[in-house]
Every structure is written in structure tokens, then in C-alpha cells.
Structure 1
């Protein structure tokens, strides 16, 4: 009962916090001096500039003199599954109408890797999954992400994409990890030199963030149960997505925003 009360309090706090934030970030933001692309939001103080209701995640857009940063944080399991299964795409352009844009997608996972994150080990309280996970499960899941989520794609819109390792010489960084609540943080960084041909020296640009839909076949979490009469049915495992959540996960959700680069103290 104590764990359930703690979970209810945490969920209530998250909901109230989300309601107070704008749907799209409204300000320019300097990145922390100690920013590191590692899938952890600690240097951001776990504080968010916006909560986008359409995609279901918190996010920050920030920059320093050299890089643009996009930090995304998802607290709900259906959203984190969708991010892992379909990836997040970020498009940077001068405005919504132009084809002169670049697009980054992360992670790019092989099909067989998408089903290995364990959502089925939540602690059971009063016969129901609590949404609270053992530390061992979170540690194991993060080890899997560190092994699997190493590929991204980058290229011009309406052009060919280049598949890259997260360890590349293009000035692109990406990482994702679960925190101790099984909430997922995705961090992206782009060298501003990559954006110069797009924004043409302007400090303001449009960004488009998509949470890509995933194939229904990737939404594992069901067992086939055979009845005595020979018929069968799909039985969800503990922690599996509900039918409505499965339908929602198959659709891409997205939003647009505008961002003006924050100036350094020396500018």
C-alpha cells in the first residue's frame, strides 16, 4: 500500500507540473556549462521548458556557442516504448514551408532489438503491476540501451540519409537512458556548423519533432493462450500495453516550434 501511495503522489506531481508548462517552449535557453550527452538529465536540474501534450513528453531546446541541444523526457511507458520502437526525428529548417532542411532520427534499431526492453517486471502489489520497477530491471534495461541504441541517421530532407554511429566525426551526439523511475531521457546535440547552410546565418529557425509510430508487430507483451476447445486468444503480460495504447503507438505524433539561438555572455 505504501508503494502505491508513493506512486500516486509522484504521478499527481508530474501531472500538475506538466499542466503548468507551455505546450511548446517559449524562450531561448543557454545550455549548462557541464552539459554531457549521456542520457541523464541531472545537469538540467530535471527541469523542463515545455510539456507537449501531442507527443506526451517534456523537452528543452538549448544551445551554447557551438552546439544545439534537444533534451526529451518521457514519463509514461507507452511513450517510452514508442520512442525506442520508432525513434525520434528532429528536422531543422528556416520555416515550415521550405525543403531546405536537415533531419536527424535516433535511435535506429534493428527489429530484433526493439523487443528486449523489459516492461514486464514491475513490482506486483495487491495483485496488480505497480509501475515501480526493481533497480536490477532498470540497470539491465540501461545496459541493453547502451548496447543497442548506437545508430542514428542524418541527412537533408528529400535527400539520402547517412547512417552513423553515435560515435562519429560529424558533430552529432545522441544518447538515451532510463532513470530510477523507468522514465526515459533522450539527448541530442548538433554542431551549429551543420545548421549554417540551413539557417543562413539567422539566429531563428523552425524545429519539427516527431515521435515516430512503430509497427504493431513490434509491440510485444502478449502471450497466446489456448482454450480447451482449441481456440486461442492473446493475453497481455503484466505491464503490457492496452489495446488503445497499441493503436496510439502505431501513429506518428509531432509538433513544430521556433527557436532563437541564445547568445553567450561574450556576444
Structure 2
């Protein structure tokens, strides 16, 4: 008995560590909560089904008898900056093949950016750099968070590809097809995203036991040639807090910029839950 009480704390600790460890890719289907609302708030999900190391995302894919759901959370600044740059693409191949061909793709958020007066870009960056140096880290984080909240609130469209029921590639967030996507920044600075796609649009029966393949991709910044690859350049969408918004200089800066412009993704399989 004495040995039992001696080992009990160790056993409890090991159970706690095991409970916190999540798979890299979701391994089980999840029945969506009956109280689910697509509002960009992590209220219904609790612990996520997986923590993907490649994309630095926590995520859960779930379903009910009407929709397929995706819930995502990102905490680190570099990942959020990449999401704000090019959105997240959720690809679904209902034939169970891990390929984008003949698949359905929903991309969100689509944040509009303007080049402004390109003749003043260098001067504006220099002024922005000076302002960032004068600000404290807490103030920079606060400004960055407010900027991201404003940008997400301004997103009005969803990119939708591969649907047989309609041909539009850009649809309103208030569309008549039942596709929903909402992302918000919480007060701790985390990015929370929820999406719902009707099973009818995917042409999947509610009781289907067929395996579907899915891909989650962080698209990164489109390489349009307008992005200045300089050490003191801070992307307009990421703020400038020194942890991803402002890349700084040197080799780490080059690596960060390259990562920002390189898509990262992973594939998984899912079977609907009854």
C-alpha cells in the first residue's frame, strides 16, 4: 500500500501528459456538438482532435447529418501572419484520393490589400520602422491584434472551387448555398476559424461510411512581384511586432520571408460519424 501511494503521483502525471498529447493528423471522426455555431469562437470544441506540427495548427474535423465542419486554432504569430497573407484552403476529395484534382476547395479568409502609392513605399516603410522602434512590445502587440481583428471583420467573400451546384468561384459569406466560414482573433491573440460545408454540396449521404480525403493548406503570400523582399520590410497584413509582422534582418529574416511565401499543407482521411 505504501508503494502504491508513492507511485500514485507519478502515475497521475503520466496520465496527464498522455491526455495532453494529440496526434499530428486527426485519427477519428467526431460528431459535431448539437450547440455548434459558426462564429469564430472556440466555445463548443474543447480539446482539438489533432495538433499538426507542419502547419502549427490545432484542428478538428467533425460532422452531423447536414454538414462537414472544420475548426482551427493558431497561436503563434508567424502562422497567423501566413494565414492572413493567403488564407487557409480546405480541400475535400470525396473519392478518398489524396489529390487536388476533381476535389472541392474552400479558401478563407481573403483579405484585400492595396499597393497604395508605390513611389512612397520606401519612405512609408522607413517611417513605420521608426515608429515600431519607439513603441514597446506590449503596445506593438496590441496594435497588431487590433489590426488583425479589423481585417478579419472586413472579409466578405469565400473562394469556392469544384462545386457542381454553382459556377461562381467567389461567393459572399452570406451565400445561399449554406457554406459558412468565420474567423476571429480572441483576446489572447489566437486565430480561431470555423467552417461548415453542406453534405449535399459534397454529394455525400448523411449515413455514408465511405472514406474521404482532406487537405488543409496555408497558402502563404502570393508571389505577385509586389512584395518587397527587403530586411526592413514589414507586410501590411501582419502588423509589426518583431515576431513575424516585422521580419528584421539577417539569415533568419530571409528564412521567415521564404516561409511566408511557401505553402505548407498536410493530408488526412475522414469517415462520417452517425
Same-fold call, TM cutoff 0.5: yes
Instruction: Give the total of aligned pairs.
Output: 224
Q: CA offset at residue 34 of structure 1?
A: 1.2
Q: CA offset at residue 56 of structure 1?
A: 1.2
Q: CA offset at residue 43 of structure 1?
A: 1.6
Q: Does 1:90 align with 2:100?
A: no
Q: 1:160 to 1:200 in 2, by over 3 A?
A: farther
In the other structure, the counterpart of 1:196 is 203
User: Larger % of strand: which?
Assistant: 1
Greater radius of gyration (CA): 2
Distance 1:36 1:19 in 2: 25
Q: 1:32 to 1:137 in 2, by over 3 A?
A: same
Q: Is the 8 A contact 1:52 1:58 kept in 2?
A: yes
Q: 1:54 to 1:198 in 2, by over 3 A?
A: farther
In the other structure, the counterpart of 1:254 is 265
Q: Does 1:167 align with 2:174?
A: yes
Distance 1:17 1:245 in 2: 32
Q: Is the 8 A contact 1:219 1:246 kept in 2?
A: no
2:160 to 154, 157, 174: 154
Q: Any gaps of 5 or more consecutive residues in structure 2?
A: 1-16, 116-128, 234-238, 248-252
Q: Any gaps of 5 or more consecutive residues in structure 1?
A: 1-15, 114-119, 225-235
Q: 1:57 to 1:91 in 2, by over 3 A?
A: same
In the other structure, the counterpart of 1:116 is none
Where do residues 66-81 of structure 1 align in structure 2 (5 Å cutoff)? 66-81=66-81
Where do residues 98-113 of structure 1 align in structure 2 (5 Å cutoff)? 99-112=101-114
Distance 2:104 2:86 in 1: 19
Q: What's the RMSD between the two structures over aligned residues?
A: 3.6
Q: 1:151 to 1:30 in 2, by over 3 A?
A: same
Q: Does 1:180 align with 2:182?
A: no
Distance 1:237 1:140 in 2: 10
